[in-house]
Amino acid sequence: MRTSNTIKRSFSALAVTAALGAAALLSAPAASAAASNCPVKFACIWADSGWVTNGVGSYYVGFQRKIPNYARWHYNSTSISANDSASSLYNNGNLSTAMFYVNANRGGPAISFPKKTGSVNLSINGVNDQLSSGYFAGF
């Protein structure tokens, strides 16, 4: 979730480098209890790190093929917009790699997560609060 003290728009490759050095230990090759709130066959985002939104694992936004514009979606049971607010994600699909783009409609660069992998904290990946659309590769 975007907060005033965590948003940092200025680009710093070194900051990303340093953060990703730690990330190697934190990505999720296997679903934890929290990530498994994302239904099978879906790829999900949450507004906070740790695969939760407001502390609740079931408050996610998920897609089975794609969401071209997260601005049209709110996290389950909340009024929090899913646009530019994802802080963790998980691909619980059975088949494809999930790709998350910085702008709507596949706009801008993407980060990719093969099936059954995710990020418990997108700050560590250097892309917190930046995702606006999500697709399974090929769809």
CB of 98 to another protein, least distance (A): 10
Contact present, 108 and 133 (Cβ < 8 Å): no
Distances (CA, A) of 45 to 12, 17, 41, 79: 24, 23, 14, 15
Binding mask 5-34 for another protein (x = CB under 8 A): ----xxxxxx-xx--xx-xx--x-xx----
Q: Is 63 in the site for another protein (CB under 8 A)?
A: yes
The residue among 52 and 122 lying less far from another protein, judged by its C-beta, is: 122
Question: Would you say the C-alpha torsion 7, 9, 12, 17 has a positive or negative sign?
Answer: positive
- 22 sits in which H/E element: helix 13-23
What is the spatial distance between Cα 107 and Cα 3, in angstroms, rounded to a whole number?
A: 24
Phi, psi (5° rounding) for residue 122?
Answer: -70, -15
CB of 119 to another protein, least distance (A): 8
Q: Is 72 in the site for another protein (CB under 8 A)?
A: yes
Question: Where on the chain is the footprint of another protein (CB under 8 A)?
Answer: 9-14, 16-17, 20-21, 23-24, 27, 29-30, 40-41, 63-69, 71-73, 84, 93-97, 99, 102-117, 119, 125-127, 130, 132, 136-139
